[in-house]
C-alpha cells in the first residue's frame, strides 16, 4: 500500500473515480426524484421532493465541479453531467431504479439517505480538505433528507394495510440493490489508505442499525441478505440509466452549448 500511495497519477485517477461515483449518485438520484415534480400525492410532498432533488443537484455541482478540477482537462460539472455516455457513469444501481409509487420512491430515498448520511459524516474528516468542505455542507442537507424519508417509511410502513403492503414490496424489491453501497475495490483501498475516504464496508454497521431501527418502528420485515446486484460503480448499468440520460442530456446533445 505504501508504494501505491506514493504514485501521484494513481492517486489522482482514484480520486477522480471517487468523485464521479459520489457525484453521479447525487446526480442520478436528484434527476429521478425531480421526476415527481408536479405529480406527488400532495402539494407539501411535491415541494419536499423537489427540494430534496434540488439539494442533490446542488451537491452534484460541487462534486462534479471538483471532479473536473482533479481531472485537469477543462471539463466542467455540466460537461460531465451532460456529455458522458452511460458506461462512463459511476452511480450505484439503486439510484437509477424507477420511481414506482410514492412509497417506493421514499423507500429508495431512505435506504440511500441512511448510507449517504454516514458517508458524508465520515468524509467531513477527509484528509483532502476540498472533499471535507463539500461533505460538511452536504451533511447538513442530508440530515434533513434522512429525517424526512425515515419518518415517512415508518408512517407508511405502520400505516394502512395497503400502505404497509406497498412498503414491504418496495423494500423487498430494492434490498438486493443495497449491497453495492458497501462493496470496495482497489481504487477505494488507495484512497482509504490515504485517509481521503472511509472504507465502504466500515459504514455497514451504522447503516444496519439505522435501517433495523426504522424498519422495526415501521413494522416492516428486513429481507434476508441474498444476491446483491452490482456494476454501477464500474460503469455497468441496468437499462434504466439510458432512459434517464436520454431525457437529462437531450438538450445539450441536440443543441450543444445551449444556455439560458
Chain contacts with another protein (rule: CB under 8 A): 44-45, 47-48, 51-52, 54-59, 61-62, 117, 121, 129, 132-134, 136-138, 140-141, 143-144, 146-148, 150-151, 154, 210, 213-214, 217
Name the minimum Å distance from CB 3 to another protein. 32
Name the minimum Å distance from CB 149 to another protein. 10
The nearer residue to another protein, 104 or 145, going by C-beta atoms, is 145
Q: Which of 108, 103, 123 has its CA nearest to residue 28?
A: 108
Name the minimum Å distance from CB 140 to another protein. 5
The nearer residue to another protein, 45 or 193, going by C-beta atoms, is 45
The nearer residue to another protein, 95 or 154, going by C-beta atoms, is 154
Within 10 Å of residue 163's Cβ, how many Cβ atoms? 17
Task: Look at residue 130 and give its three-state secondary structure.
Answer: helix
246 vs 22: CA distance, rounded Å:
21
Name the minimum Å distance from CB 148 to another protein. 5
Task: Look at residue 100 and give its three-state secondary structure.
Answer: coil
The nearer residue to another protein, 147 or 201, going by C-beta atoms, is 147
**All residues at 6 or more sequence positions from 222 whose CB lies less than 8 Å from its CB, including other chains:** 171, 211, 212, 215
Q: Which residue has the cell 455540466?
A: 78
Amino acid at each position: 500500500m505504501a508504494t501505491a500511495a506514493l504514485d501521484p497519477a494513481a492517486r489522482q485517477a482514484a480520486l477522480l473515480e471517487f468523485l464521479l461515483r459520489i457525484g453521479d449518485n447525487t446526480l442520478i438520484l436528484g434527476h429521478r426524484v425531480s421526476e415527481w415534480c408536479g405529480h406527488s400525492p400532495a402539494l407539501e410532498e411535491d415541494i419536499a421532493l423537489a427540494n430534496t432533488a434540488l439539494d442533490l443537484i446542488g451537491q452534484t455541482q460541487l462534486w462534479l465541479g471538483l471532479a473536473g478540477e482533479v481531472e485537469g482537462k477543462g471539463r466542467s460539472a455540466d460537461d460531465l453531467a451532460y456529455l458522458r455516455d452511460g458506461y462512463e457513469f459511476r452511480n450505484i444501481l439503486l439510484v437509477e431504479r424507477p420511481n414506482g409509487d410514492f412509497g417506493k420512491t421514499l423507500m429508495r430515498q431512505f435506504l440511500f439517505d441512511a448510507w449517504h448520511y454516514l458517508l458524508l459524516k465520515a468524509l467531513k474528516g477527509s484528509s483532502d480538505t476540498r472533499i471535507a468542505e463539500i461533505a460538511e455542507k452536504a451533511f447538513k442537507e442530508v440530515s434533513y433528507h434522512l429525517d424526512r424519508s425515515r419518518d415517512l417509511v415508518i408512517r407508511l410502513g405502520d400505516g394502512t394495510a395497503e400502505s404497509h403492503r406497498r412498503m414491504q414490496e418496495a423494500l423487498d424489491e430494492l434490498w438486493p440493490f443495497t449491497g453495492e453501497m458497501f462493496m470496495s475495490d482497489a481504487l477505494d483501498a488507495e484512497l482509504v489508505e490515504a485517509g481521503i475516504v472511509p472504507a465502504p464496508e466500515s459504514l455497514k454497521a451504522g447503516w444496519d442499525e439505522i435501517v433495523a431501527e426504522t424498519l422495526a418502528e415501521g413494522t416492516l420485515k428486513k429481507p434476508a441478505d441474498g444476491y446483491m446486484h452490482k456494476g454501477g460503480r464500474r460503469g455497468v448499468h441496468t437499462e434504466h440509466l439510458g432512459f434517464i440520460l436520454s431525457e437529462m442530456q437531450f438538450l445539450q446533445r441536440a443543441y450543444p452549448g445551449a444556455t439560458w
